[in-house]
Amino acid sequence: MLLKVVLFAYSQGIVSSRGIERACREHITFIALSGDSAPHYSTLAAFVTGLGDAIAKLEAAAQHMLARARANDTLPSEPGRDEKAQRRIARLQGDASQLRDWLAAHPEDRKGAKGSIRKSNHTDNQSVKMATSKGVIQGYTGVAAADDRHQIIVEAQAHGTGSEQELLLPVIQATESLRTDQTLVTADAGYHSEANIAALAEQQLPALVAGTGMRMRDERFKDQDKYKALPAPLYDEAHPKKGAKHYRPKDFNCNPAAGTCHCPAGKQLYQNGANCNHKGLIGTKFQGVLRDCVPCELREKSLRMPEQTKARQVMFFRGMANSTLSASDRMKQAIDLERGRQLYGRRFATVEPVFGNLRHNKRLNRFTLRGRQKADG
């Protein structure tokens, strides 16, 4: 009965135990689900807390807080400022000492996927500091998998990490019993890494995971820059990014099919290599004509060492030089196909509305319990 009441309350955006208790007295649907038993908020709180394997002593903590509040009621309304300051200093010193002891006893704790130490939290050591649109918060990353036909969440996990890359494989492993030979996994660029793509290939699991530059390679997004007028929420206006000092290959107008290339000054470069190998990559190389490059007014911005180099060269890569492609390269080829783009394009409509429904409609936009096990529950 309690499970029905709690799940229905969450679906209505009611997350507090007192709010659920009130609904069980006043809301006809809650009254029906609870059998008119009017469960007390403490019963609901104990049940919600115990959804995971670990049981928190919330009721005991509440009683302790009430006892402390009653004890404080007997004190003078405004104790001496010096006395309050001394108590605060003593408390902070005690907290600092406790933190130093913990750090000394756990030097290898909270290592990230790349070996770096994650900043810990004294109250909830399994949580992590994460940059969000509302600033840096202490919390968990909630990741979910949904089916594309009904937008039903088939797997959900909470992790104390701000990096999504290390979360892809745990979620996929958890959905193993639900997948069929017709299942295709799609994930956004936050989950892309060479290790993840290689693991998917090794498991022979059909998947499309976006990588860096996917939209830059897609003609449908050629005008996307006009929608980037506003800075990102965490954009640091005090330290704006510096522009490139020299022209890059993207500043040149190249037509690989026609074998032509024009520099930013509008001069045509001639092709002097159609299958050039550079560090394992194969591409087409173009070079400027001396009569155009030597007197050019854009020479300082076109060449890194204009006093030594006479003409600008530019190379456009097409892929790996040998037949052995990396897992990421094969994924890039698959997702750039017309069929791949069609299939990957369904990811947005599959899972993003699920998060929008949870956060906006249901108002379930934060974890209310500490510890990964409880947040996961």
**30, 49, 73 — which closes off a domain?**
73
DSSP, res 250: G
In terms of domains, do 316 and 356 share one? no
- 268 located within any domain: yes
In a domain, 307, yes or no: yes
Buried b (16+ CB within 10 A) or exposed e, 288-315: beeebbeebeebeebbeeeeeeebbebb
Task: Answer whether residue 29 is part of any domain.
Answer: yes
* Claim to verify: residue 134 and residue 205 sit in the same structural domain: yes
Residue 240 within a domain: no
Residues 339 and 312 in one domain: no
What pLDDT score was predicted for residue 58? 43
**What pLDDT is stored for residue 306 in this prediction?**
86
- Looking at the structure, tell me whether residues 320 and 347 fall in a common domain: no
CA distance 321 to 329: 12
Q: Are residues 214 and 168 in the same domain?
A: yes
In this prediction, residue 62 carries a pLDDT of 55
List the helix and strand counts (H, then E) for the chain: 13, 12
pLDDT value of position 156: 93
> Is the separation of the CB atoms in 153 and 146 below 8 Å?
yes
State how far the alpha carbon of 281 is from the alpha carbons of 71, 194, 285, in Å. 74, 17, 12
- Note whether 14 and 59 are same-domain residues: yes
In a domain, 227, yes or no: no
Please list the residues that pair with 261 across neighbouring strands.
Answer: 254, 269
* Boundaries of domain holding 49: 2-73
Report d(CA 141, CA 121) in Å as an integer.
15
pLDDT value, residue 76: 59
pLDDT in tens, the chain (377 residues): 888 898 899 889 898 999 999 999 999 999 999 999 999 999 998 888 876 543 364 456 556 766 776 776 666 555 566 788 888 888 888 888 887 787 777 766 666 666 666 666 778 888 888 887 778 888 899 999 999 989 899 999 999 888 888 899 999 999 999 999 889 999 999 899 999 999 999 998 999 999 887 877 777 777 776 666 655 555 555 556 666 788 888 889 888 667 789 999 999 998 888 788 877 778 888 999 999 999 998 888 888 888 888 899 998 887 666 656 788 888 888 888 888 889 998 999 999 999 999 989 998 888 888 899 999 88
- Cα–Cα dist 86/84, whole Å: 5
Q: Does some domain include residue 340?
A: yes
User: Does 96 fall in a domain?
Assistant: no
Question: Do 7 and 61 have their domain in common?
Answer: yes
| Domain identity same for 41 and 185 | no
Pair (143, 285) in one structural domain: no
Residue 261: how many other CB atoms lie within 10 Å: 23
Q: Which of the listed residues 32, 47, 73 is the one where a domain comes to its end?
A: 73
Q: Do 135 and 211 sit in the same domain of this protein?
A: yes
Spatial contact of 29 and 9, defined as CB atoms under 8 Å apart: no
Q: What are phi and psi of 144, to 5 degrees?
A: -140, 150
Each residue of 150-161: b (16+ CB within 10 Å) or e?
eeeeebebbbbb
Looking at residue 21, its pLDDT comes to: 95
For the domain that residue 367 is a member of, what is the CATH number?
3.30.420
In terms of domains, do 159 and 295 share one? Answer: no
Listed residues 308, 327, 346: the one ending a domain:
327
In a domain, 232, yes or no: no
Do 178 and 150 lie in one domain? The reply is yes
Counted domains in the chain? 3
Q: What is the pTM of this model?
A: 0.55
